[in-house]
Amino acid sequence: MSRIIHRSLRSTPPVAASAEGIYITDQSGKRYLDACGGAAVSCLGHRHPDVIAAMHAQIDRLAYTHTSFFTSEVSEELADHLVAHAPAGLDQVYFVSGGSEAVEAALKLARQYFVEIGQPQRTRFVARRQSYHGNTLGALAVGGNEWRRQQFAPLLMDVGRVSPVYEYRDRREGESQDGYTARLIAELEAEFQRLGPQNVIAFVAETVVGATAGAVPPTPGYFRGVRELCDRHGILLIADEVMSGMGRTGTLHAVEQEGVVPDLMTIAKGLGGGYQPIGAVLASGRIVEAIRQGSGLFQHGHTYIGHPTAAAAALAVQKVIQRDGLLAQVRTRGEQLRGALLRRLGEHPCVGDIRGRGLFMGVELVKDRDSKAPFDAADKVNQKIKQQAMANGLLVYPMGGTIDGRRGDHVLLAPPFIVSEADIEDIADRLGSAIELCLGRAA
C-alpha cells in the first residue's frame, strides 16, 4: 500500500510514467487519451517545447525568491500580459499557487476593501448551491457541494445561498428562458434583502459551473442581471474562473461572453496548464487603490506567491495560446466535440443532457430520460464510467453528488486545446462505448 494519502485510502491509482501531447502512459505501458486535461488543467498537452524551454531558462537564472524581499521580472511580465488580455478594469494581479488559494485571496481582498472604505459591517458572502470553489475552509464555505462540505460544515462560515443556473432541471414547463433568468435574479435580490444588502461583501459564482455539474453555462443575461443587482447594493461580484477561464470556453475569460466585468476574478488551472502550480486573482484597480490609500497593505500572503518558475511556465503557456490562435481553435473543436457527442450519445436513453462551451462539455446521465430521474447514489454510475473509460484508454472527469437534495451523475470533458478533429471523434467513440458497457446500448 502506498505511503501517500491518496483520495481513496483503499486503492492506489496506476503510476503515470510519461506523457506526450494529449496522451499519458502508465508504468505498464498503457496509453490514455486525456480528454479532461487532468481536472481541466492541461490546455497545451504535455511536453510543449516552448514551456519547457522557458521553465528551464528561468530555473537556471532564478528559481525562487520570496515576495517580502523581491519581485521578479518574469512575474511582473506575466502580470502585464494578464492585464493586457483581461476585461477592462481588471488591472491588478495577485499570484497564488492554485484555485483554492485564489478564492481565499479574492474573499479576503473583498472583505479588506470594505474595511478600508469604512463599511466593516459587510461580513456576508452569497453563493450558489451548485458550485465548487475549492477545498480550503473559506473556499469550501462558499462552495455548495454538500458531499464535500458535510463533515466540515460546523467549521465553515455561514454563507447566503441561492439557486444555480441549471436550465436542464430547473426551468419550468412553459417558462421562457428570460422568465427563468428573471426568477433567478429575483431570488438573489431576496437573499440580499434577507441578509441586509448593506451587510453583504460579495456574490461569488462560477461563470460556467464545472466540478459539481459538468459545464453548465449561464442563461443569456443572467450575469448582466447579477451585475446590475450587485451595483445597486454596492456588493462586489467575484467570478470564479479557476476551471472555466484561460481559454477553456473559447474566449480567454468566460465572462467575456456575458458582457460583464466582475470586480474580482479567480483563475488557475489553465493559467499554467499543469506545468507548474499557479493561480491568480485579477482585481479591479478600484479595490486595490482603496487598500493602497488606506492601510497600504493587503493582509494576506503565502510562501510561494509570485513564484518565478511558475510565472515563467504560465507566461510561456499564455504566449503560445495567443501566438497559435488557440482560442479560435477551442471554439471550432468545441463545436466538433458537441456534434460528435450528439451523434454518438444523443439518442442514448441514459444521456439526459449534453452541454457546455468551447472545449468544456458535460454529459448528464439519468436513469430515465423522460422523467430525468437520476441514478441512485449506490449505483456509483459516474465512477463506473470513469473506470470503464480508463479501461478503454480514455480519461474523463466524473462527478456525482447531491445538489439541492437531488442526485446527479455527470461526466466532464475538457481536452487540451491542441486536440485534432480525429481525436475528438476518438473521444466521443471511447466515451460512447464506456457508457454503453456500463448502461447498455441505445435501442
Q: Is 134 in the site for ligand PLP (CB under 6 A)?
A: yes
Q: At its nearest, how many Å lie between ligand PLP and the CB of residue 101?
A: 7
Q: Which three cell numbers stand for residue 107?
A: 474573499
Query: Residue 435 in contact with residue 350, Cβ under 8 Å?
Result: yes
How many of the chain's residues bind ligand PLP (CB under 6 A)?
15
Residue among 241 and 426 whose Cβ is closer to ligand PLP: 241
Among 91, 240, 364, 409, binds ligand PLP (CB under 6 A): 240
Q: Is 210 in the site for ligand PLP (CB under 6 A)?
A: yes
Among 39, 156, 159, 182, binds ligand PLP (CB under 6 A): 39
Residue among 209 and 366 whose Cβ is closer to ligand PLP: 209
Among 44, 243, 361, 413, binds ligand PLP (CB under 6 A): 243
What single letter denotes the amino acid at residue 441?
A: R
Query: Residue 382 in contact with residue 363, Cβ under 8 Å?
Result: no
Q: Is 86 in the site for ligand PLP (CB under 6 A)?
A: no
Region of 29-37, 92-100, 323-331, 377-385 interacting with ligand PLP (CB under 6 A): 92-100
Hunting for cell 436513453 — which residue is that? 349
Region of 93-101, 308-316, 398-406, 411-419 interacting with ligand PLP (CB under 6 A): 93-101
β-bridge partners, 412: 362, 397
Region of 203-211, 300-308, 312-320, 332-340 interacting with ligand PLP (CB under 6 A): 203-211
Query: Residue 412 in contact with residue 214, Cβ under 8 Å?
Result: yes
Q: Is 133 in the site for ligand PLP (CB under 6 A)?
A: yes
Residue among 48 and 128 whose Cβ is closer to ligand PLP: 128
Q: Is 272 in the site for ligand PLP (CB under 6 A)?
A: no
Q: At its nearest, how many Å lie between ligand PLP and the CB of residue 368?
A: 29
Q: At its nearest, how many Å lie between ligand PLP and the CB of residue 415?
A: 16
Spell out the alpha helix ranges (H) of 88-145: 99-116, 137-142
Q: Is 128 in the site for ligand PLP (CB under 6 A)?
A: no
d(CA 332, CA 326): 10
Among 21, 99, 218, 334, binds ligand PLP (CB under 6 A): 99
- Residue 165 falls in which region: left (phi positive, over 0), alpha (psi -120 to 50) or beta: beta
Q: Is 215 in the site for ligand PLP (CB under 6 A)?
A: no
Q: C-alpha distances in angstroms, 290 versus 115, 232, 241, 296? A: 10, 20, 24, 9
d(CA 416, CA 48): 12
Region of 97-105, 166-174, 290-298, 431-439 interacting with ligand PLP (CB under 6 A): 97-105
Q: C-alpha distances in angstroms, 417 versus 64, 236, 333, 338, 359? A: 29, 32, 8, 15, 7
Q: Is 310 in the site for ligand PLP (CB under 6 A)?
A: no
Q: Is 206 in the site for ligand PLP (CB under 6 A)?
A: yes
Query: Residue 428 in contact with residue 396, Cβ under 8 Å?
Result: no
Residue among 327 and 399 whose Cβ is closer to ligand PLP: 399
- Give me the sheet containing 394-395, strands edge to edge: 16-20, 23-26, 31-34, 394-395
Q: C-alpha distances in angstroms, 387 versus 24, 102, 216, 217? A: 16, 31, 23, 27
Residues that bind ligand PLP (CB under 6 A): 39, 98-100, 103, 132-134, 206, 210-211, 240, 242-243, 268
